[in-house]
Structure 1
Amino acid sequence: MKTIKQLGIYLDHAAANLIDFSGSDKEPKSIISEFDIQDKHETLQRSENEMHHKEQDKQRAYFKKIAAIAADFNQLLLFGPTTAKTELLHFLQKDNSFGKIKIDAENTDKLTCDQQQIFVGEHFKKFDFKNS
């Protein structure tokens, strides 16, 4: 029987917490976006257009880092309080290597690390009967 590897990704535009729900007790891994408020202020002083391009480039790099890890999983849960989860979903859907990966996206309030782990556990436990 094929092992189901499940990953929860709690994210906003600044950082992502990757929570492996594949039965191991690994600590969540964090990925930080390189586009910060300092970048925004510096590039805005030059031009808004330049700031927009720099932000898009850094966001694409941020999403690529997340995708590189997520590609090893069968099921993904994208969740969080901002539109970043939807943007990541669209980014992943454009990548053919994610065609066979089940991806769910859910809105949540801002959650602590413990709340994130509970949320991921409850989400994937709903689908346990499908995995047996």
Structure 2
Amino acid sequence: MKTIKQLGIYLDHAAANLIDFTGNDKGPQVIASDFDIQDKHETLQRSESEMHHKEQDKQRQYFKKIAAIAVDFNQLVLFGPTTAKTELLHFLQKDNSFEKIQVETENTVKMSLKEQEVFVHDHFKKFDFKNS
């Protein structure tokens, strides 16, 4: 029987917590976006257009870091309080590597790390039919 590898990704535009539900006891992996408020102020002083392009480039790099880890999983749940999860979903849909990976999104409120871990556990547990 093939092992199903499941990953929960709680994200906003600043950082992502990757929570592996495969059964190992590793803690969440954190990936931070490189675009910060200082970048925004410095670039905005030069031009709004330049700021927009820099922000898009940094977001693409941020999503690439997340995708490089997520590609090793069979099922993903993207969740969080902002539109970042939907933007990541669209990014992943353009990548052929994710064709066979089941990706779901769920809107949630802002959560603590413990709440995120419980959410991922509960989300994937409903698909666990071994205990039925």
Name 1:80's counterpart in structure 2.
Answer: 80
Equivalent-residue separation in structure 1 for 2:24 and 2:122 (angstroms): 16
Whole-angstrom distance in 1 between the partners of 2:104 and 2:31: 20
- Say if 2:11 is the partner of 1:14: no
The equivalent of 2:40 in structure 1 is 40
SS in 1 for 2:50: helix
Q: Matches of 2:85 and 2:129 in 1, distance apart? A: 26
Where does residue 105 of structure 2 map in the other structure?
Answer: 105
Please name the residue that 1:90 is paired with: 90
Query: Structure 1 CA distance, aligned partners of 2:107 and 2:37?
Result: 24
Amino acid at match of 1:111: M
* Equivalent-residue separation in structure 2 for 1:126 and 1:94 (angstroms): 28
For structure 1, the 5+ residue unaligned runs are none
Partner residue in 2 for 1:62: 62
Task: Give the superposition deviation at 1:123.
Answer: 0.2
- In structure 1, distance between residues paired with 2:57 and 2:20: 27
CA distance in structure 1 between the partners assigned to 2:117 and 2:93 by the alignment:
25
Cα separation, 1, equivalents of 2:52 and 2:74 = 33
2:125 is aligned to 125
* Paired residues, number: 132
Instruction: Give the AA of the match of 2:115.
Output: Q
Partners of 1:127 and 1:103 in 2: CA distance: 14
Letter aligned with residue 20 of structure 2 = D
TM-score by length of 1: 0.98
Alpha-carbon distance in 2 for matches of 1:129, 1:92: 27
Residue 119 of structure 1 and its aligned partner are, at CA, apart by 0.1
Q: Over aligned residue pairs, what C-alpha RMSD do you find?
A: 1.4
How much does 1:129 deviate?
A: 1.7
